[in-house]
Structure 1
């Protein structure tokens, strides 16, 4: 019995030591570190989320997500090279290794994880598919779109959601499938289609991009799907997965703690042990992730917390934060504890 107990103790100790070891390095993690910057794929024309401004600078909630990863990896949020992607090429580009991470309007689905060799690291924005219609049509509900011509983009979950919604209700659907954004804008403004359907974030950005003409259009109240949108990477890179996932949690955790880009330096002296661990004064979390222990501090200092990013990018569109509030504020963002 003593020999059995001794053997068990040795085995348990060995397992504990093994569990305490940091995750093995990954091809993507090592390649990004050696290259000196993150290659981030995202949409180039999604106002508030990912777009190039008049000075050629990338701005948006998704853009901030890419910069957070760079801040965590290098201590420098500017070490990102942004690559414009389309609905058609975004996932193939990630699969082929042309980009390290895709942060765009990409919905987390079973198919994309189980059959494409991809993995979502979390949710940046909780969305739902809706409809944009011209006010002059007098339509106030999606149920009034029976027989309508609906503009929809190919290569998205949107097409399937649209077909399911109409079939489920026995409604007639006339889809007008258009990939090119400029052609799509022309089809909608000229009246070739009665409505345009995609996630409400994209619809709000699209409407804002129409300028004064945007007042001629309205979003219908119905949401016909769940669209959890977040960063995507290739499977098989555990260390890269850990870093991207937790870089996404940091802005939410910072908001929970009331830590902002303005007060983060002062909060380094906060006596709260949880804050001390979070900001890298204790705990060694950065070492566990393979980066500097001030990784979270750098994200907050250079990018800000989630509310700051929202106010800077999304709020000007007039889009309510809604379910994208923290769990403690009535939303569903519920980041796990950093401990």
Structure 2
């Protein structure tokens, strides 16, 4: 049985065993990254989404909206149900099997090492002056055109990616795992995968992916704001020259400018702490896209800013985890 199974009117499921499993999953992710040699549940979720989208995304706009909402519900509830059933069955066979399965599922929901490695894959060739290699590495993690980007624009793309994905790759899975363990973290990854596959505002997905995009906004809402605060708090002890004065107020003012209701919070905080400007003009398949600017252009971005963003990412998830655990402990002490 999962150590995190919600029960009663208001459950506070934090246990030493559950917290130990989550910490073990974090350590595994930091050491080994994504468990690529094991069956990956997110890959299975992606295949289910692709199968349903190919069969249901057609017809009038209203029908596509209804079928897209139904797909969203089926995938998210299905991910939770399969995770819960797997852990229940294996835990019934033997507690160690249940714990091992939960550890594997929690591990598969995190992307700490993967995100840091992706940022460094851009920073290293950029620092060496190898712009073509840096552009290729950036093209692996962003959707924008990278062929003509200069050093500052390459660095901007990597910093924005590290900042934004610190939420859906790290702090949001931790947030939901602390509330409901691996089944709820897996349901969150289903939400996130749905948004990454069908949550676009183009002709193909505008109607079919509407429910997926809105649910992703809701699922990331608390973690995005917590991440921005935690990044600011961690900058007080992280090595580096951070522009902390006014960063909180500036982030509060600038974050709503971002087209995403959540991505602007970590991006604005990182921009203000670094003393740089994020956002601006991007190109997607040759089409121009204007993004609101975040931060102030005190200087051009460079390769070193990517490393600084990675340090802030690590500080942010560590402080977020500490704040969440303390909040749950306090809640557990007052809830009968």
For this structure pair, what is the TM-score category when the shorter chain's length is used for normalisation?
Answer: under 0.3
**Whose strand proportion is higher, 1 or 2?**
1
The structure having more radius of gyration, on CA atoms, is 1
TM-score by length of 2: 0.22
TM-score by length of 1: 0.22
**Whose helix proportion is higher, 1 or 2?**
2
